[in-house]
């Protein structure tokens, strides 16, 4: 699907139909076979393997250096701010492998009239880049990727040591409605309620209405185009509708815009397409029906009521993984982080005591005061 997105026509004249994802996919398959669909797969594999290994390895090394600079023991716990700093370093330095990403794009974006045989290998693509752009050509686009990689590493490595459940517990302690938990919404992609995927970012809210509603406002552009880099789109569909309001084409667009994921209080479809491009999608349920005749977007970036006193407002921080989704108002973020760190340290001591054979009741009474 990366090949499909790269080869999709970008400068289409108004009124000209843009071919769909499956149409482009089948066209490439018929013309060039499975090899054409998988152009650049070697570069993708090298980028993914080296990227995540570097993010985790460098972030952990940076954590060790922070302990050394502060004369802390090797097993000392770091504050959330120290973890974020180490993760930022790990994410930024992991972009040393940008040449693999440039090779991937070069191999997948064959010029008009060329065939797969004209650039069959990473070596031939590398020669082309050197000839047209020089050595610096291998690092084109590295600056925005550094920002994305740093944020992704903060979420998956830095915050990965603090379970999302702690956020909900912290919000309960702060008396926030329902602990910010968006009950009934689950992860469908990139895996069905499994895997290490975690998203975290500011909300871009979308209010949907029934298609028959002629009085509700209409947005100036398609709501999928309102996605923002590192944001998370939250879509609220009218209750009781059995159609989907999000599909594979929209995920393709959102990923291109740099969105971290989408959360739908309603139904989605095209699960295989979301999973194919590894785009995080959370929703209540699925449907085989599209949205056209059933529902439409009405308002963008407006407060939306999830349940009773629990609202999602533009800019609220949404956090989601295989366990579910919580929402955190920015004004509570500092307090939540402090409580999460405190709870994390208490639980570490509790686990250690239980592993040593201590009884559950007295241990909890002693540590969780």
For the ranges 13-17, 80-84, 108-112, the one whose mean pLDDT is highest: 80-84
Per-residue pLDDT at 105: 76
Per-residue pLDDT at 5: 46
> In terms of pLDDT, which residue wins out, 111 or 131?
131
Measured CA to CA, the distance from residue 230 to residue 199 in angstroms comes to 9
Is the per-residue pLDDT at 348 higher than 60? yes
Q: What is the mean pLDDT of residues 321-335?
A: 90
**Token pair for residue 351?**
């686990």
Q: How many helices (H) and strands (E) does the chain have?
A: 12, 10
**Residue that is written with structure tokens 């909900």 in the block:** 168
Burial of 268 (0-12, 13-18, 19+ CB in 10 A): buried
Q: What is the mean pLDDT of residues 339-346?
A: 81
C-beta separation of 265 from 185 below 8 A: yes
pLDDT band at residue 246 under the 50/70/90 scheme? very high
Span of 82-86, 116-120, 142-146, 311-315 with lowest mean pLDDT:
116-120
Binding residues: 247-250, 269-270
Per-residue pLDDT at 343: 82
Is the per-residue pLDDT at 352 higher than 60? yes
Per-residue pLDDT at 35: 57
C-beta separation of 250 from 224 below 8 A: yes
Please give the radius of gyration of the chain, using alpha carbons only, rounded to the nearest integer.
Answer: 23
pLDDT band at residue 315 under the 50/70/90 scheme? very high
Tell me the domains of the chain and their CATH numbers: 39-160 (no CATH), 164-332 (3.50.30.40)
**Token pair for residue 251?**
């995920």
Q: What is the mean pLDDT of residues 230-255?
A: 93
pLDDT band at residue 4 under the 50/70/90 scheme? very low
Per-residue pLDDT at 204: 97
Cis peptide before 190 (omega within 30 of 0): yes
Measured CA to CA, the distance from residue 262 to residue 234 in angstroms comes to 6
Span of 41-45, 66-70, 241-245, 266-270 with lowest mean pLDDT:
41-45
What does the DSSP 8-state code read for residue 181? B
Binding residues for Mg(2+): 270
Per-residue pLDDT at 76: 72
Is the per-residue pLDDT at 38 higher than 60? no
- Tens-place pLDDT, residues 70-105: 888 876 777 777 888 888 998 899 888 888 888 877
pLDDT band at residue 147 under the 50/70/90 scheme? confident
Percent of the chain with pLDDT over 70: 80
**Residue that is written with structure tokens 């004369």 in the block:** 71
> In terms of pLDDT, which residue wins out, 7 or 298?
298
> In terms of pLDDT, which residue wins out, 39 or 119?
39
Helix (H, G, I), strand (E, B), or coil: what is residue 200?
Answer: strand
Per-residue pLDDT at 158: 65
Per-residue pLDDT at 112: 42
Give this prediction's pTM: 0.64
**Mean pLDDT score of the chain:** 83
Measured CA to CA, the distance from residue 8 to residue 117 in angstroms comes to 20
Q: What is the mean pLDDT of residues 284-304?
A: 93
Per-residue pLDDT at 307: 94
> In terms of pLDDT, which residue wins out, 223 or 291?
223
Q: What is the mean pLDDT of residues 157-179?
A: 79
Helix spans in the chain (H): 2-7, 21-37, 41-69, 80-93, 98-108, 122-133, 142-153, 164-173, 248-256, 271-276, 333-355, 360-367
pLDDT band at residue 334 under the 50/70/90 scheme? confident
pLDDT band at residue 128 under the 50/70/90 scheme? confident
- Helix, strand, coil percentages in the chain from 3-state DSSP, rounded to 5: 50, 15, 35
- Tens-place pLDDT, residues 181-210: 999 999 999 999 888 788 888 999 999 999
pLDDT band at residue 40 under the 50/70/90 scheme? low
Binding residues for substrate: 247-250, 269
């Amino acid at each position: 699907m990366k090949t499909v997105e790269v080869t999709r026509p970008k400068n289409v004249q108004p009124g000209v139909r843009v071919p769909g994802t499956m149409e482009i996919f089948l066209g490439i398959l018929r013309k060039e076979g499975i090899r054409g669909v998988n152009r650049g797969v070697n570069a993708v594999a090298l980028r993914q393997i080296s990227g995540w290994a570097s993010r985790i390895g460098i972030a952990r090394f940076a954590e060790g250096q922070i302990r050394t600079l502060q004369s802390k023991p090797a097993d000392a716990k770091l504050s959330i701010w120290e973890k974020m700093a180490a993760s930022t370093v790990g994410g930024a330095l992991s972009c040393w492998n940008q040449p693999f990403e440039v090779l991937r794009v070069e191999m997948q974006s064959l010029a008009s009239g060329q065939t797969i045989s004209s650039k069959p290998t990473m070596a031939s693509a590398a020669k082309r880049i050197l000839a047209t752009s020089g050595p610096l050509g291998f690092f084109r686009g590295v600056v925005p990727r550094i920002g994305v990689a740093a944020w992704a590493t903060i979420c998956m490595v830095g915050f990965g040591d603090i379970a999302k459940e702690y956020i909900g517990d912290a919000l309960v302690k702060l008396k926030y409605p329902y602990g910010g938990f968006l009950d009934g919404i689950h992860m469908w992609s990139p895996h069905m309620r499994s895997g290490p995927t975690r998203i975290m970012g500011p909300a871009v809210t979308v209010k949907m209405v029934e298609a028959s509603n002629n009085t509700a406002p209409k947005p100036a552009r398609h709501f999928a185009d309102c996605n923002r880099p590192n944001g998370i789109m939250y879509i609220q569909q009218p209750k009781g509708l059995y159609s989907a309001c999000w599909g594979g084409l929209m995920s393709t667009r959102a990923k291109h815009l740099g969105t971290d994921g989408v959360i739908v209080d309603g139904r989605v479809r095209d699960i295989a397409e979301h999973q194919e491009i590894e785009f995080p999608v959370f929703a209540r349920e699925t449907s085989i029906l599209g949205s056209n005749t059933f529902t439409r977007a009405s308002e963008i970036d407006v407060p939306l009521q999830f349940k009773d006193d629990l609202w999602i407002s533009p800019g609220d921080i949404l956090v989601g993984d295989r366990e579910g989704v919580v929402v955190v108002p920015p004004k509570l973020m500092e307090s939540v982080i402090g409580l999460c760190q405190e709870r994390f340290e208490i639980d570490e001591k509790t686990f250690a005591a239980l592993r040593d054979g201590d009884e559950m009741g007295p241990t909890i009474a002693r540590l969780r005061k």
